Amino acid sequence: MPNDYDVLRERAKAAMWAQDYTSARQSFGRLTQSSAATREDFESLIHAYVWTGDLAGAQPFAKRLVELDPGNQVALQALRDFDEQQRLMARNRAEELAASGRFTEAVQAYRDYMKAFTAASKSTNCSCAASTVGAENTVRQ
């Protein structure tokens, strides 16, 4: 006999299939807060956020899933994608400041970018941030 969690899970799956990601997030969100939560519930909840472009919204659930399942590729990919999104936003901000002639602010934005993302790249075994920013970081004040 199905219990309330089974019914909620089926409702959430139907919402995902119908691309009603708001309803899916609500249902999977309730499931992930329960003792009946499965790895698939967390993965589906993460997908419901990622597939609508809300990488930031997926972060708490991706982090929680990594705690429960350290090698989970869905969670790890959501975390990497969010980090990359943040990296690109910071770099774009610095480039926009430089392009608009606001060089003092651009230099500071590049410094902030380097500080935030070269340390992060070392911890994720990626050296791309340092190599792609070097030329831009020579903007004159």
| Alpha carbon distance 109, 100 (integer Å) | 13
Model confidence, pTM? 0.75
Q: Average pLDDT over the chain, rounded to whole? A: 86
Segments making up each domain of the chain, as ranges: 4-70, 83-138
Alpha helices in 3-123 (DSSP H): 4-17, 21-32, 39-50, 55-68, 73-99, 103-123
| Alpha carbon distance 37, 30 (integer Å) | 9
Superfamily of domain 4-70: Tetratricopeptide repeat domain (1.25.40.10)
Q: What is the DSSP letter of 71?
A: T
pLDDT-derived band at 117, boundaries 50, 70, 90: confident
pLDDT-derived band at 128, boundaries 50, 70, 90: very low
Q: Are 2 and 36 in contact (CB under 8 A)?
A: no
